Amino acid sequence: GQHFLGIEGLPEDQIEILLDRAENYALLNRSRKTPRNLLRERTLITLFFENSTRTRTSFELAGKRLGADVINMSVSTSSVSKGETLLDTAYTLNAMRADLLVIRHAQSGAPALLAQKVDASVINAGDGTHEHPTQALLDALTIRRHFGKLTGLTVAICGDIAHSRVARSNIILLKTMGCNVRVIGPRTLLPSTIAKMGATPYYSMDEGVKNVDVIMMLRLQRERMSAGLIPSTREYFRFFGLDRRRLNLAKSNALVMHPGPLNRGIEIDSHVADDPHQSVIQEQVEMGVAVRMAVLEKFSHIKAQP
């Protein structure tokens, strides 16, 4: 099959087409008029080796709204707990003739490995610190809905850049679409490789958010840090947390974004996260379903319908 493993290598016009299709699905979702025959007789299996609320649920909803048979493999109750490997699990699902495999795994490159071994189209739902491509698409769609374009906007991505597949996918996508991208964080969480990706590093939050159009906050991924290197949460919020004063340094209509899950009071103040005018966190979740519908449509080799 044709796989969706990352934003890297996806040209601008392909991104634009996916965003347009997703915008169309966002409207159909609101009017409850989704094409339930589109993925009829297709089987979608979600395989999450790491926990998820948004991504797994929205892939399931996306599949169901297009009429696919959706199976959620519960990894913790599967035979993985008896020592079955990732590849043997994949061969087993392949023998059941799944058409689409949506996988999340702690190891970067796990979806790419799977893609070489199965007939199904493999869709990356987040692999280690590598990529989370559907997240970058839903973020881009949310931004585009508010500004009508992406080109020329300045986006600040803040926090634990080092461990963030969301940051990597977003930097690649936003640079491809002509945005100015800043990354803000403590030196320990801001790898030098970021400069090669074309994002400008800032080690001061006040400096980094000045005059930006979008502030994208990230969670501290403690599960990917060694115990001695986890910052104290009080210190972290003081230096890198987003509060009202810092938000006011950005443009007056700046958007506040967060991929979720939120750790309130650690990277973001609750009032800012819930701000009715500037926070678009719930809209990001809504666009997540629409984007995943567009991705399932594209990667199940079905011709687009009106």
Q: Is 85 a catalytic residue?
A: no
SS3 246: helix
SS3 255: strand
Residue 54 annotated as binding?
A: yes
Residue 256's H or E segment, with its range, is strand 255-257
259 near ligand CP (CB under 6 A): yes
178 near ligand CP (CB under 6 A): no
Nearest distance from residue 141's CB to ligand CP, in Å?
14
- 91 burial type by CB count under 10 A (0-12 exposed, 13-18 middle, 19+ buried): middle
Say how far apart CA 195 and CA 191 lie, in whole Å: 8
185 near ligand CP (CB under 6 A): no
Q: Is 277 a catalytic residue?
A: no
Nearest distance from residue 142's CB to ligand CP, in Å?
12
55 near ligand CP (CB under 6 A): yes
Give, in degrees to the nearest 5, the angle at Cα 83 between 128 and 133: 20
Q: Is 132 a catalytic residue?
A: yes
How many Cβ atoms from other residues are within 10 Å of residue 304's Cβ? 12
Residue 277 annotated as binding?
A: no
Whether the bond between 133 and the residue before it is cis, its omega within 30 degrees of 0, is no
Q: How far apart are the first and last CA of the chain?
A: 24
List the x/- string, 204-243, binding to ligand CP by CB under 6 A. ----------------------------------------
Q: Is 82 a catalytic residue?
A: yes
Choosing from 14, 37, 53, 270, the residue that interacts with ligand CP (CB under 6 A) is: 53
**Binding site residues, ligand CP, CB under 6 A:** 52-55, 126, 135, 259-261
Active-site residue set:
54-55, 82, 104, 132
Annotated binding site for carbamoyl phosphate: 54-55, 104, 132, 135, 260-261
